[in-house]
Structure 1
Amino acid sequence: MIGIMADTHDNLHSIKQAVRLFNETGCSLVIHAGDFVAPFAARELENLNCPVEAVFGNCDGEKKGLEKVFHLFGEIRKAPLAFNHENLHFLVTHIPAARGFYPASEKYNVIIFAHTHKPEIRHEKKNMLINPGEAGGWVSGKSTVALLDPKTLSADIITL
């Protein structure tokens, strides 16, 4: 399984719940699509039993601090981030592109985005698009993440 989260916005309680879920599910990777906000919140991801790939969001002001914390357990970079994991090609961004347009999108099996705080899983052309919603839960009152099964290419939104 692959854990997907975004828009944690310093909600330590929700981050800890997500870490517990991802560890219990046996995730081989966790992807964070931006908006930790502060480095202290990102430090909770050090408790994961797998590596983390992440991008900066528009509310991540302390980029140097986040990079320093991430160096302990994963990587955080400027979006878009493209990488391969378990024979899948991923594109991760924070702010979604115009609906239906992602650069060279046919190259990617899975496109992960965030920013809207609205969980969504949809298929477009050859891509699976996933917005895990907001793990922080500050806007909607609902903390959500996503789990992706790379073998079946199926995903679910999970309420924490």
Structure 2
Amino acid sequence: MRFAAISDTHDNLSAVRELLDTLKKEKLDFIVHAGDIISPFTMKEFEVLGLKLYFSFGNNDGERKILTQIAEKNGWEIGEIAEFPGGVIYHGTDRRILSILKKTGQLVVTGHTHKPSIEKGESVVLNPGEVCGYLTGKKTFAIVEDGEIALMDL
């Protein structure tokens, strides 16, 4: 199983398109997005890949009803917390929820801080950083393959 883990795209369409061009070259089974995609027009950009998208809402996501409609139309999973094969996604805004998820023994993909990190404990907690590059100045994502995680720069 090989997938991309991303977060915090924040409607930066040039960064999203750069990411999608990069991901088109990868052989992926699906994509996990840990929130703050922001607008429906940004979510629609992911349709070009033809891959399943697992998405958790972030604290800045607006138009959740329309985001949900786009996800359902494409057969994607969406919610405050969403499961994907081998793990769970949660944006990470509530530390108590994140603490509970860390006890599941699964891969937990999170975002919110915009800082890439891999935390190993009872669960592996992956924050792929930010695609938008707004806060850190770096556009990052992760590729996960059979439990191995590679943090990547765009």
* TM surpasses 0.5: yes
**TM-score computed with the length of structure 2 as normaliser:** 0.89
The alpha-carbon deviation at position 104 of structure 1 amounts to 5.7
Which of 128, 131, 139 does residue 124 from structure 2 map onto? 128
Counterpart secondary structure, 1:3: strand
Q: Which runs of 4+ in 1 moved over 3 A?
A: 96-99, 104-108
The alpha-carbon deviation at position 21 of structure 1 amounts to 2.2
Counterpart secondary structure, 2:76: strand
The alpha-carbon deviation at position 137 of structure 1 amounts to 0.8
1:113-141, Cα deviation, whole Å (9 max, x unpaired): 1000000112112x211001011111111
Alignment partners' CA distance in 2, 1:76 and 1:11:
22
Q: Which has the higher helix share?
A: 2
Which of 132, 135, 140 does residue 139 from structure 1 map onto? 135
- Tell me, yes or no, if the aligned pair for 1:114 and 1:133 is still in contact at 8 Å: yes
Q: Do the aligned partners of residues 155 and 62 (structure 1) sit closer, same or farther apart at CA in structure 2, a change above 3 Å counting? A: same
- Tell me, yes or no, if the aligned pair for 2:35 and 2:57 is still in contact at 8 Å: yes
1:103-122 → structure 2 map (5 Å cutoff):
103=100, 105-122=102-119
Q: Report the residue type matching 2:21 in the other structure.
A: R
Alignment partners' CA distance in 1, 2:105 and 2:24:
26
Aligned residues: 153
Q: Do the aligned partners of residues 124 and 17 (structure 1) sit closer, same or farther apart at CA in structure 2, a change above 3 Å counting? A: same
Partner of 2:53 in structure 1?
Answer: 52
Counterpart secondary structure, 1:71: helix
Counterpart secondary structure, 2:113: coil
Alignment partners' CA distance in 2, 1:22 and 1:14:
12
- Tell me, yes or no, if the aligned pair for 1:135 and 1:144 is still in contact at 8 Å: yes
Q: Do the aligned partners of residues 76 and 62 (structure 1) sit closer, same or farther apart at CA in structure 2, a change above 3 Å counting? A: farther
- Tell me, yes or no, if the aligned pair for 2:54 and 2:83 is still in contact at 8 Å: no
Alignment partners' CA distance in 2, 1:72 and 1:19:
20
Partner of 2:149 in structure 1?
Answer: 155
Note the residue ranges of structure 1 that are not aligned, 5 or more in a row: none
Over the aligned positions, Cα root-mean-square deviation in angstroms equals: 2.0
Query: Quick one: percent identity of the two aligned structures?
Result: 28
- Tell me, yes or no, if the aligned pair for 2:109 and 2:127 is still in contact at 8 Å: yes
